[in-house]
Amino acid sequence: MAVGIFDSGLGGLTVLDAVAKRLPNVPLVYLGDSAHAPYGVRTPDDIYNLTTAATQRLFDAGCDLVILACNTASAAALRRMQEGWVPPGKRVLGVFVPLIEALTERQWGDNSPPREVAAKHVALFATPATVSSRAFQRELAFRAIGVDVEAQACGGVVDAIEDGDMILAEALVRSHVDALQRKMPTPDAAVLGCTHYPLMAEVFQDALGPQVKVFSQANLVAESLADYLDRHPQMVGPGTEPAFLTTGDPKRVSSRATQFLRRQITFTSA
Ligand code: DGL
């Protein structure tokens, strides 16, 4: 009965938390690849190899469905995995589509042609690898026309969050918002395209101003997953035990995770 949730590190806990609230009876197996984080500065091949290894580990833990709760992995590896790697009977889903569906105000699974939407100037904040993949712009183009996207690669923010240095993370977020506003002075929407950034959502909102609608993924992904499992109940895998797995140091990772989610989280070695 388990669903796997993968992230390069701790950021995906924002998605896990929202999914656990929305689907309290589904055991969730989380895997954070903290030994190799951050992914955002790695090459696409490297991200693909690390993501497939981690996803295999989640299949082995009894998950038939794995959510890549990592924009960088979704952007750089998901399409290649779906095209040639995912074994029969297993599914791997990413986190871009629910976000774009919300931004373009579409119903889940609406496959009609792209159309004009309310948001005209969208700021995308993401890791360097996500920004250079242009995956967000590609997915958006399937659904919306006339949307101007300005992307800001937010170097350093993930490392600061993984290190628990929230003062540095806040300073970096403010300087990345400044840099974005020099390129796009008046965005009407902003997308937090990295699972770590919801932990800094208030700082993004404050720096951008109240007129900017900030989209962050956790609840959107949870809603989309609930809808998917309604339509594909067989994709809840055979595993019965929730677990938190890490490739990093379980003690250190557990203590950071407990601090982020404000409840006791105990990781074991992946
Ligand atoms: N949390 C990941 C994301 O959503 C990436 C962080 C990283 O490892 O660079 O993009």
Between these two residues, 179 and 112, which has the higher pLDDT value? 179
Question: Is there an atom of ligand 1 within 6 Å of 39 CB?
Answer: yes
Does residue 213 share a domain with residue 104? yes
Does residue 226 share a domain with residue 196? no
Does residue 101 share a domain with residue 192? yes
Q: Quick one: pLDDT at residue 235?
A: 85
pLDDT in tens, 142-159: 889 999 999 999 999 999
Confidence at 54, pLDDT banded by 50, 70, 90 = very high
* Number of structural domains the chain divides into: 2
Which residues in 200-230 are b (16+ Cβ under 10 Å) and which e? beebbbebbeeebbbbbbbbbbbbbbeebbe
**What pTM, to 2 d.p., does this model score?**
0.89
Does residue 101 share a domain with residue 90? no
Of 28, 68, 23, residue with least CA distance to 50: 68
Q: Which 3-state string (H, E, C) describes the chain?
A: CEEEEEECCCCCHHHHHHHHHHCCCCCEEEEECHHHCCCCCCCHHHHHHHHHHHHHHHHHCCEEEEEECCHHHHHHCHHHHHHHCCCCCCEEECCHHHHHHHHCCCCCCCCCCCEECCCCEEEEEECHHHHHHCHHHHHHHCCEECCEEEEEECCCHHHHHHCCCHHHHHHHHHHHHHHHHHHCCCCCEEEECCCCHHHHHHHHHHHHCCCCEEECCHHHHHHHHHHHHHHCHHHCCCCCCCEEEECCCHHHHHHHHHHHHCCCCCCEEC
70 catalytic, yes or no?
yes
Does residue 241 share a domain with residue 205? no
Question: Is there an atom of ligand 1 within 6 Å of 40 CB?
Answer: yes
Does residue 174 share a domain with residue 119? yes
Which residue range is the domain that position 104 belongs to? 97-217
Does residue 182 share a domain with residue 101? yes
Does residue 108 share a domain with residue 22? no
Residue 227 reports pLDDT greater than 80: yes
CATH number at residue 196: 3.40.50.1860
Residues across the chain: 270
Average pLDDT over residues 13-24: 94
List 54, 58, 63, 70, catalytic entry: 70
Mutational test site, ligand 1, from 6, 7, 136, max ligand atoms within 8 Å of CB: 7
154 catalytic, yes or no?
no
> Among the three residues 177, 201, 217, which one is the final residue of a domain in this structure?
217
Does residue 161 share a domain with residue 138? yes
Does residue 222 share a domain with residue 157? no
Average pLDDT over residues 112-123: 89
Distance 111 CA to ligand 1 centre (A): 28
